[in-house]
Amino acid sequence: MRIIWHSVFPLIGTGYGSQTKQMVRQLKKLGHEVAISCSCGVPMVTIVWEGIKCFPDSGHVSKYGMDMVQTHAERWKADVVWSWLDAFAIPPEVAKKLNNWAAWVPVDSEPLMVRNVKPLEACRWRLAPTKWGVQMLKNAGLDNPMYLPCVYDPNIFYPTDFEEARKEFGRIIKKDLEGKFLVNVVSANSGGRKNFQAVFQAWKAFRDKHSDALLYLHTDITGYFSGGSDLIEMAKTYGVEDDSIMFVSQWEYNTGQLGEDYLRWMYGASDVHLNCCYGEGFGLPILEAQACGCPTIVPEFAAASEVGLCYKVKKGQMYSTVPGALQFMVDSDAVVEQLEMAYTRKADLIQRRAIAELTHPWKVESVVQNHLIPILEQIEGELK
């Protein structure tokens, strides 16, 4: 088949970018002709990446490249348009006209957001990266949604010796981590969904009891580049002491210069990964942390609960944070309880390897064989 993939440029360092990179490579490896219609990151020039044409977006950020995708698909003569982004960005009239749209969409609320329904009704095929998401699509009356989980590359994310990782990551960030309880947060500082308020509120209470604890945040500090909040000021508001938190080096982070090996060392050096998001559509950092053997603390809601295999935050409230749907606001005291549990049960190398083994169903090779190939065969059969 000729498949045009519509998402971000594959070298953009987000979950959308990493999955685009992995999935497009696999589609090409399976013998399909593939091109990429970029939703952002490539204005008005066609770039060839790994032999694959990446067609540009228009530069109008709010359009998510949807003002170009129909033209790209028609001129390139695509059999299938396969999108990997939020459903609300898909113009129903375009999906209906093309009649070959496969929408792979993150689902992060219960029920499905109202504004996602009509775009998905217009698509010929609908896919979600979690079984929970598939159920939400079914509950919204959408026929025959398919399950296609996100993937990780086991050549990049794997367990390392804890002490070795401590020394290497400490060297990279120029910080002595000896004897520290290191907690990492890897969340985009965009909007309010990642709930940094709960992170800092819980951290204040936990750090008051444990002076050896350090919080490392892998995100945009100011929110300038990602449309988020000033996290330094937010931390001060919650009384968090400066010496208890560290941020990723901002120039390297915001200019995309940190490789995936950096994340492996960071996860390998951490005692636990913390996520307080209102609702994850998949939660790729949760999966990647565990693939490196790092335990995780996640809300017991949406994708985080399905992908997170370690500590669950069960206490909280359901709130209407998005139109027509609910998401989960964790109780910060319950987060502290899970941090205390992780502090008490510091994972040794055997436990970390056991955590990593639990992530094997999400390895790229496993997902290709068990999910992607059958889905492609179904789509190809329906086209014929």
The predicted-structure confidence for 137-158, as pLDDT tens digits, reads as follows: 999 999 999 999 999 999 999 9
Outline which parts of the chain fall under CATH 3.40.50.2000.
Answer: 162-362
User: Rounded distance, CA 237 to CA 376, Å?
Assistant: 50
Tokens for 190, please give them.
């965009």
Q: How confident is the model at residue 209 (pLDDT cuts 50, 70, 90)?
A: very high
CATH of domain 2-151+364-383: 3.40.50.11930
Tell me what pLDDT residue 240 has. Answer: 97
> Domain 162-362: what homologous superfamily?
Glycogen Phosphorylase B; (3.40.50.2000)
Tokens (6 digits) for 334: 């319950």
Whether 104 shows a pLDDT value over 90: the answer reads yes
21-39: average pLDDT: 98
- pLDDT tens by residue, 34-56: 999 999 988 889 999 999 999 99
Confidence of residue 261 (pLDDT cuts 50, 70, 90): very high
Whether the link from the prior residue into 106 is cis, omega within 30° of 0, is no
Across residues 178-192, what is the average pLDDT? 95
Q: How confident is the model at residue 13 (pLDDT cuts 50, 70, 90)?
A: confident
pLDDT in tens, 217-231: 999 999 998 889 999
Contact 24, 198 (CB under 8 A): no
pLDDT in tens, 284-335: 999 999 999 999 999 999 999 999 999 999 999 999 998 889 999 999 999 9
C-beta neighbour count of 93 within 10 angstroms = 10
Evaluate whether 53 touches 36 at the Cβ level (below 8 Å): yes
Confidence of residue 349 (pLDDT cuts 50, 70, 90): confident
Predicted pLDDT at 3: 98
In this prediction, residue 228 carries a pLDDT of: 92
What per-residue confidence (pLDDT) applies to 242?
93
- Ranges for all domains in the chain classified under CATH 3.40.50.11930: 2-151+364-383
Q: What is the pLDDT of residue 42?
A: 84
Q: What is the pTM of this model?
A: 0.96
